[in-house]
Amino acid sequence: MDTLKRSSTVWVPTLTTLLDTMWDNIESKLASGPVSYLVPIQKFIFAFTSLCIAGADPANSPDIADKGYMRMDRWLAVQLLPSVPITTFQPLVEIFLHSFPYPYFLVSRDYNKLYKFVENEAKEVISRGQTEFKLSKEDATHNLLFILGFNAFGGFSILFPSLLSALASDKTGIQEKLRKEVREKVESGSGLSLRSVQEMDLVQSFVYETLRLNPPVPLQYGRARKDFELSSHDSVFKIKKDELLCGYQPLVMRDPKVFDDPETFVPDRFTGEKGKELLTYLYWSNGPQSGMPSGSNKQCAGKDYVTLTTSLFLAHMFLRYDSVTIANASFTAVDKPTP
């Protein structure tokens, strides 16, 4: 939380500068055919999270500027593969991929390069960890790299493609409505900012609905700290201290008793008074969207930054373009406003 607060003033200018660079690159390649957005978005997320969370500029390290996102991907893959659900080739997947942690040597080279990058470039944040939170330099660096790579880079790398894929599947003319809202709010206020984006109800609802149907972290685990009773709509379960609990968010957030037409992507579901009440049932961050992260509830520390950043990403796109055409995880056309 301390690291996030520290960076709140550079958050929006860094985001818009990096997004403009990303879009300029995509546009320059569009004349030769569809442009996959997966690599450009990952490069953007890597630079954005490094600069904003760690105060570390990848541009100062040629290897990291070029391959930093790939090094993160490989490091994340060995941690996530044991728990990623794979339904084909069973029971072989269970036996050979899901039964043991992967050895560190597979990614030690990548991790060491990333560690050096954070150690050299994030001196100010690491030193805050040492002075304010009494961590050793090594612990502060490992922790910062974990938040940067696992929480922030990992989470956004799943969320942004889900957002674009939701946009691609829309048949309701949502782009026009989003564009109208974004431009109205930006023109009547002080430009694109953390404040103006919070007034964009439809943009925020679109982001919430993406998180409802595609929570980037679908499984959550917790161990009971005391005996308690866990209630559902129609049953009560007795939980004993130390029992392991697992929550599966995609099921929870499609509860037909809470969400009308739960399997359908409804872009404006979270607008208006009734929509705001539904935020109590939006659990993507390991707790309700209406809740606050704290030291005792394990709710995502970056919860509000995640939804605001994703709303800013969407708003920036509809300031820059009238519409975008997306197919097979690629942009096929972008339509710029006539000057």
Name residue, tokens 């990614």. 107
- Outline where 31-61 has alpha helix (H): 38-49
d(CA 122, CA 49): 12
Binding letters toward ligand HEM, positions 273-292, x by CB under 6 A: ------------xx------
Least distance in Å: CB of 160 to ligand HEM? 8
Buried b or exposed e, range 250-263, using 16+ CB within 10 angstroms: eebbeeeeebeeee
Nearer to ligand HEM, 43 or 179 (CB): 43
Q: Does 147 bind ligand HEM (CB under 6 A)?
A: yes
Least distance in Å: CB of 207 to ligand HEM? 10
Q: Does 65 bind ligand HEM (CB under 6 A)?
A: no
Site for ligand HEM in 75-104 (CB under 6 A): none
Closest CA to 261 of 213, 218, 206, 217: 213
Nearer to ligand HEM, 4 or 168 (CB): 4
Of the ranges 12-20, 56-64, 235-243, 298-306, which one interacts with ligand HEM (CB under 6 A)? 298-306
Least distance in Å: CB of 294 to ligand HEM? 8
Q: Does 305 bind ligand HEM (CB under 6 A)?
A: yes
Nearer to ligand HEM, 16 or 50 (CB): 50
Q: Does 4 bind ligand HEM (CB under 6 A)?
A: yes
Of the ranges 64-72, 124-132, 195-203, 294-302, which one interacts with ligand HEM (CB under 6 A)? 294-302
d(CA 25, CA 28): 5
Of the ranges 89-97, 127-135, 144-152, 272-280, which one interacts with ligand HEM (CB under 6 A)? 144-152
- Outline where the chain has alpha helix (H): 2-6, 8-30, 38-49, 62-80, 92-96, 108-121, 123-133, 137-146, 154-169, 174-188, 194-197, 201-213, 249-252, 272-278, 303-320
d(CA 202, CA 200): 6
Nearer to ligand HEM, 55 or 186 (CB): 55
Site for ligand HEM in 20-39 (CB under 6 A): none
Burial class of residue 312 in the structure, from the number of CB atoms within 10 Å of its CB (0-12 exposed, 13-18 middle, 19+ buried): buried
Residues paired with residue 228 on neighbouring β-strands, in sequence order: 239
Of the ranges 114-122, 147-155, 175-183, 188-196, which one interacts with ligand HEM (CB under 6 A)? 147-155
Least distance in Å: CB of 54 to ligand HEM? 10
Of the ranges 127-135, 152-160, 233-241, 325-333, which one interacts with ligand HEM (CB under 6 A)? 152-160
8 A C-beta contact, residue 186 and residue 192: yes
d(CA 61, CA 117): 7
Least distance in Å: CB of 252 to ligand HEM? 12
Residues paired with residue 295 on neighbouring β-strands, in sequence order: none
Of the ranges 79-87, 121-129, 153-161, 177-185, which one interacts with ligand HEM (CB under 6 A)? 153-161
